[in-house]
Structure 1
Amino acid sequence: MVWERIVKEYVCSPSKVAVLGATIERGRPVSMVMRYLKSQGFSLYPVNPKYRGLKILGLSFYASVRDIPENVDILSLFIGPKNQAFLLDELKSLSYKPIVWMQPGAENQELEEELKNLDYTVVSGQCIMAVHKARCSRLDT
């Protein structure tokens, strides 16, 4: 998928985003990005088995992407490469292919190549919040 299309259809238009590595710790970058995206109208699905049963920003945590009751447009990764071993199998178990967005610090060249070979669209090394702020006109924060 072409970058401009990703930005127009999934970043500048609120989409459904699974946030892998979401946390209840307010000062973490993932929490700041989630607050921002929620304020911009995105539907968020925090994913972290550690916090299953808890809520952040009024949203229930999911233990895995498979547990989310609907298809998401973007899977935003906030987990480092050493914690990503499970991800390929989890993605393969889905009946659809979300855009995999590797936030800064989550870049993983090996996983990225494997995903691209399986026809996933991968964005790597760019913060979705920063892209939204830089490229989308409906900013109000």
Structure 2
Amino acid sequence: MAFENPSREEIKNILEQAGNIAVVGLSDKTDRTSYMVAGAMQSRGYRIIPVNPAAAGSTILGETCYASLAEVPEPIDIVNVFRRSEYCADVAKEAVEAGARVLWLQQGIISEEAAGIAGGRGLQVIMDRCIKVEEAITQPVRR
């Protein structure tokens, strides 16, 4: 059976219930898409948790950056991924182990393998969608 993203209503519910968003591949460079998207989500009231081994220990968007999801010391609602598709299966495994509720692969990122890993362990999976765009469409007013 082919993968299908949740409905717009389900995505609305996911975003309404989310607080902490771990952003895997979040760059500390302000001109990168990951930085701009995470900054926009932060400005809308979500807690952004940077995950990037190259920037671990530094701060991005005022938050401590971690090398992996396993190092994040608090609950994760959404794992938002800015990594190439071939790395997403490993991220999905980490998301499962970290107890995340949702694996969200950004626009342009598709991994059936990652969807199978995460979905098979009870996580909701969204692929090839921009979290910032979906949030703007489904959550016109936030906190």
Select 1:83's aligned residue among 87, 107, 110.
87
Aligned to 1:43: 47
The Cα of 1:7 is off from its aligned counterpart by: 1.4
Relative to 1, partners in 2 of residues 1:114 and 1:89: Cα closer, same or farther, differing over 3 Å?
A: closer
How many residues are matched?
137
1:123 is aligned to 2:132: no
Following the alignment from structure 2 to structure 1, what is the Cα–Cα distance between the partners of residues 94 and 133? 27
Q: Is the 8 A contact 1:79 1:105 kept in 2?
A: no
Identity fraction in percent: 26
Residue 24 of structure 1 aligns with which residue? 28
- Structure 1's unaligned 5+ residue stretches are none
Per-residue deviation at 1:40? Answer: 0.5
Q: Cα–Cα, structure 1 residues 24 and 115, in superposed 2: closer, same or farther, change >3 Å?
A: same
Q: Is 1:93–2:97 an aligned residue pair?
A: yes
> 1:45 and 1:35 mapped to 2: Cα distance?
11
Task: Please tell me whether the aligned partners of residues 96 and 118 of structure 2 are also in contact (alpha carbons under 8 angstroms).
Answer: no
TM-score, structure 1 normalization: 0.86
What value does the CA root-mean-square deviation take over the aligned residues?
Answer: 2.1
Gaps of 5+ in 2: 1-5
Q: Which amino acid aligns with 1:75?
A: V
* 1:59-103 deviation per Cα after TM superposition (whole angstroms, max 9, x unaligned): 110111111111111000110112235324323433x24200011
Q: Contact (CA 8 Å) 1:65, 1:90: kept in 2 or not?
A: yes
The separation in 2 between residues aligned to 1:115 and 1:45, in whole angstroms, is: 20
